[in-house]
Structure formats: structure tokens, C-alpha cells
């Protein structure tokens, strides 16, 4: 009889009997949920209007009401000029324009439009500031999409990570992007995407904590002798360990990512679900909706969790020490979040680390990889690599435990 089912059940029991695992999951879950609320807690200077102090929650509601006024409108020359005229009402002498009455009364509701177009009109070494926006010509405003395309093409060409064929591939995708952009309130998605780096880091830490001891515990607790001398100890048992770890890791990923998603949606609303991703990253040429991007984050996070779990299992199967797998996985998490190396190889390599795979800003980077003449995008490449490397590491983990020598 194949005892895989009952062995998986016992493996779950072993994990859940560990109080520190349960405590770490609960703490991590609370942090994840709490982090969704951080932008609406308290108040700050930008919320001040006149003598009244506005809480961040009220500011969010105000901005939401402003942005929803534009729901369904096209981001065209006419709207850009309308926004520019509103910005012209900002008091020139204000020390900080966002605190001026003119901004709060007339321009604030157009701030999202300014945020969407500024990057396209920036010049080398000179940002497109409020004064530039106030002075924008109708001709320039009408040519926003041409500027946007040209700016993105130039940025990619100036960056050593894209070849000319890569750039063509990226720009080709822009043909499918609807233009002019259709505006929509999307702060729930924006918050979810911004938090994706924190969420994936917390998730991977929990995975490290749960699975770093998965094999090494059997060595240190001396249960390995009983297991390896039993009929299923060198086969079904190891399958059960792997299946349990992957199921648990998958469940944790769904729990953390979907909790962050639904809490963000609960706070800000589901508005923008079918809006274009360009409303968050105007330059991007993926024809994705916000929901597509959220699903993409979920999928890449699942692959990230798979890879990270495999790494933990592999190190755990090779070491009797519980600290080593934990330390290595923490270093890997940190490395995936560290974006300060000026070397093309390491820059690309970082995107394949689990903590970068679940980060919205990293995974939506439009890097192109050429595999046997086929051009694939970064988000596809990381999933393929995670599946292959993770699978190999699981095979090695299997082999390591099977060949483990007691004594």
C-alpha cells in the first residue's frame, strides 16, 4: 500500500505541533495585514489644509473622491491641458505648493494626471516639474503618447540591460496597449503592489522558519535511524516531506498574498480592477489590467515560494545544523531586495532570487531574455528558472536524505 497520504498527514502534524512555527505565522500574518493600513493611519503635513488637520484616512477618501471624478475619462491632450490650467492656479509664492490653497482647491484633484505624464516629458538631467506642467503647450500635451514612447525607448537604450532587438520586442508590445489611457481610481491595487516587496519578504521568512529544519530536525532528533531503516523511509517518506512542504508553502503563499490583496481592496475598494496597468507605470508596454498584474504577482510569488522552499529543503537535507539553512535563506531574501550592484550579470541574477520574484517593481521590469532564439520576458523567465532550479533542488534533497548516513 502506498502510505503517501497518511505520511503527508503526519508531516503536517509535525509542523503544526511546533509552537514556534505557529507563533511565527501568526506574527507574520499580523504584520502583513497591519502594513496594509499604514498609509491611512495618523496624519502628515501634506494632509494639512489651512488650519485643519486632515487624517490620512480622510485624505485617502478625499483623493479617492477626486480620482473617481475622472473614472472613464481619456488621458488625452484636452485633459492634460485642463490639469495644467488647474495647476496654474497654485500660488507661485507658496513655500511648498502642495500645502497652498490653490493646490488643495484646484490642482490636487489633477495630481494623479501630473503623476502620470511627468516622466514622459522629463529631459536628460532635468525633471518635469510643476512649473513645466503649468507652462505645457497644447501641442506638447497632444503628443504625450509619442513623448512617452520616445522617452521609454531612450531609457532602455541608455541602460546596458537591453539590446536593440530587446527594445524592439518591448516597444512592439505597446501596439496592443490602449491609447489614450482610460483613467480609473486604482489606489487599492497601487497599495497592494507597493506592499508586494514587504509581503514576499515576510512570506519567505516564514517559509525559511518552517522548512529550514524539515530534514535536519530528523538528523538532530535522531529519528533518521528509524525512518531510514523502514520500508518507506527511503522513498515514500521523502516524497511525503516534499509534498507537505510544497503544499504548506503554497497555502502560506495564498494566505499572505491574498490577505494583503483583500485587505487592500477592503480599505481602498476594488476600483480599477480592469484598468490599464499604465495608470501605475505609464511607460510600461504590457497590455495588462490591474487584475492581470495582481494575478501575475500571485503566480510569481507561488514560484518564488516554490524555489525558496526547495532551497530550504536542499540545505536542510545536506546539513545537520538547523541554523545554516535558516541563515542562508535569510541572506538570499536580503540579496533579492538589495538593488545596489553595478554589474549587469548580478543585476539580472538578482531578479531570479525569490524575494525579487514576488516584488511588483522587479517583476514588471521589461527585461527580455533570448532562449534558443525565442524572446521571453522576465516574468516568464523567472517562473521557468524557478521551476527548473527548484525541481533540481528537490531531486537533490531527495537524494541527500536517501543517502544520509546515520552516525
Partner 1 sequence: MELCIDRISKQYKNKIAVDRLSLNLTSGVYGLLGANGAGKTTLMRMICGISKPTSGEVKFNGMDVSEERYRDALGYLPQDFGYYPEFSAQDFMYYMASLKGLTKSQAKLKTKELFEIVSLTEVAKKKIKTFSGGMKQRLGIAQALLNNPQILVLDEPTAGLDPKERVRFRNLISELGKDRIVLLSTHIVSDVENIANTILVMKNGQLIHKGALEEIIMIIKDKVFECTVDDKTAEHLIAAYPVINMRSEGENTFLRLVSDEKPHHTAVNVSATLEDLYLYYFSEVIENE
Q: How far is the CB of 262 from partner 1 (least distance, A)?
A: 33
CA 280 to chain centre: 13
Q: Which is nearer to partner 1, 39 or 238 (CB)?
A: 238
- Write the interaction track for partner 1 spanning residues 203-222; mark x where CB under 8 A is met and - where it is not: ---------------x--xx
Q: Which is nearer to partner 1, 9 or 160 (CB)?
A: 9
Size of the residue set binding partner 1 (CB under 8 A):
29
Q: Which of 38, 131, 165, 229 touches partner 1 (CB under 8 A)?
A: 229
Q: Which is nearer to partner 1, 55 or 318 (CB)?
A: 318
Q: Which of 135, 146, 388, 406 touches partner 1 (CB under 8 A)?
A: 406
Q: Which is nearer to partner 1, 41 or 406 (CB)?
A: 406
3-state secondary structure the chain: CCCHHHHHHHHHHHHHCCHHHHHHHHHHHHHHHHHHHHHHCCECHHHCECCECCEHHHHHHHHHHHHHHCCCCECCHHHHHHHHHHHCCCCCCCCCHHHCHHHHHHHHHHHHHHHHHHHHHCECCECCCHHHHHCCCHHHHHCHHHHHHHHHHHHHHHCCCCCHHHHHHHHHHHHHCCCCCECCCCHHHHHHHHCHHHHHHHHHHHHHHHHCCCCHHHHHCCCHHHHHCCCCCCCHHHHHHHHHHHHHHHHHHHHHHHHHHHHHHHHHCCCCCCCEHHHCCCCCCCCCEHHHHHHHHHHHHHHHHHHHHHHHHHHHHHCCCCHHHHHHHHHHHHHHHCCCCCCHHHHHHHCCCHHHHCCHHHHCCCCEEEECCEEEEHHHHHHHHHHHHHHHHHHHHHHHHHCCCCC
Q: Which is nearer to partner 1, 233 or 269 (CB)?
A: 233
Q: Which is nearer to partner 1, 185 or 398 (CB)?
A: 398
Q: Does 176 bind partner 1 (CB under 8 A)?
A: no
- Write the interaction track for partner 1 spanning residues 386-405; mark x where CB under 8 A is met and - where it is not: -----------------x-x
Q: Which of 115, 235, 266, 391 touches partner 1 (CB under 8 A)?
A: 235
Q: Does 231 bind partner 1 (CB under 8 A)?
A: yes
Q: How far is the CB of 36 from partner 1 (least distance, A)?
A: 34
Q: Which of 73, 233, 292, 348 touches partner 1 (CB under 8 A)?
A: 233
Q: Does 25 bind partner 1 (CB under 8 A)?
A: no
Q: Which of 10, 57, 66, 270 touches partner 1 (CB under 8 A)?
A: 10
State which of positions 51-70 bind partner 1 (CB under 8 A). none
Q: Does 95 bind partner 1 (CB under 8 A)?
A: no
Q: Which is nearer to partner 1, 30 or 226 (CB)?
A: 226
Enumerate binding residues for partner 1 (CB under 8 A): 1, 3, 6-7, 10, 13-14, 17, 218, 221-235, 237, 403, 405-407
Amino acid at each position: 500500500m502506498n502510505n503517501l497520504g497518511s505520511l503527508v498527514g503526519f508531516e503536517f502534524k509535525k509542523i503544526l505541533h511546533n509552537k514556534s512555527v505557529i507563533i511565527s505565522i501568526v506574527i507574520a500574518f499580523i504584520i502583513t495585514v497591519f502594513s496594509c493600513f499604514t498609509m491611512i493611519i495618523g496624519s502628515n503635513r501634506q494632509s494639512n489644509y489651512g488650519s485643519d488637520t486632515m487624517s490620512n484616512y480622510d485624505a485617502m477618501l478625499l483623493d479617492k473622491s477626486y480620482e473617481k471624478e475622472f473614472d472613464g475619462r481619456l488621458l488625452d491632450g484636452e485633459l492634460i491641458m485642463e490639469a495644467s490650467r488647474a495647476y496654474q492656479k497654485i500660488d507661485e509664492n507658496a513655500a511648498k505648493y502642495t500645502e497652498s490653497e490653490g493646490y488643495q482647491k484646484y490642482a490636487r484633484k489633477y495630481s494623479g494626471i501630473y503623476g502620470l505624464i511627468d516622466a514622459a516629458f522629463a529631459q536628460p538631467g532635468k525633471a518635469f516639474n510643476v512649473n513645466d506642467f503649468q507652462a505645457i503647450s497644447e501641442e506638447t500635451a497632444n503628443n504625450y503618447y509619442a513623448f512617452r514612447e520616445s522617452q521609454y525607448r531612450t531609457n532602455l537604450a541608455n541602460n546596458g540591460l537591453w539590446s536593440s532587438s530587446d527594445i524592439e520586442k518591448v516597444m512592439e508590445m505597446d501596439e496592443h496597449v490602449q491609447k489614450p489611457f482610460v483613467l480609473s481610481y486604482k489606489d487599492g491595487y497601487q497599495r497592494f503592489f507597493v506592499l508586494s516587496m514587504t509581503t514576499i519578504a515576510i512570506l519567505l521568512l516564514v517559509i525559511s522558519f518552517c522548512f529550514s529544519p524539515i530534514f535536519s530536525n530528523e538528523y538532530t532528533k535522531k529519528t533518521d535511524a528509524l525512518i531510514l531503516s523502514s520500508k518507506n523511509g527511503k522513498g515514500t517518506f521523502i516524497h511525503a516531506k516534499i509534498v507537505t512542504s510544497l503544499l504548506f508553502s503554497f497555502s502560506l503563499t495564498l494566505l499572505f498574498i491574498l490577505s494583503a490583496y483583500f485587505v487592500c481592496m477592503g480599505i481602498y475598494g476594488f476600483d480599477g480592477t480592469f484598468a490599464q496597468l499604465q495608470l501605475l507605470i505609464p511607460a510600461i508596454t504590457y497590455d495588462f489590467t490591474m487584475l492581470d498584474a495582481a494575478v501575475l504577482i500571485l503566480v510569481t510569488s507561488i514560484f518564488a515560494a516554490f524555489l525558496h522552499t526547495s532551497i530550504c529543503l536542499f540545505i536542510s537535507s545536506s546539513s545537520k545544523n538547523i541554523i545554516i539553512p535558516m541563515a542562508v535563506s535569510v541572506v538570499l531574501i536580503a540579496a533579492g531586495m538589495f538593488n545596489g550592484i553595478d554589474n549587469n550579470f548580478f543585476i539580472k541574477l538578482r531578479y531570479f532570487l525569490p524575494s525579487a520574484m514576488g516584488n511588483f517593481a522587479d517583476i514588471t521590469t521589461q527585461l527580455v531574455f533570448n532562449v534558443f532564439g525565442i524572446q521571453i520576458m522576465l516574468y516568464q523567465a523567472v517562473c521557468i528558472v524557478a521551476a527548473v532550479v527548484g525541481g533540481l533542488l528537490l531531486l537533490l534533497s531527495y537524494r541527500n536524505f536517501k543517502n544520509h548516513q546515520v552516525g
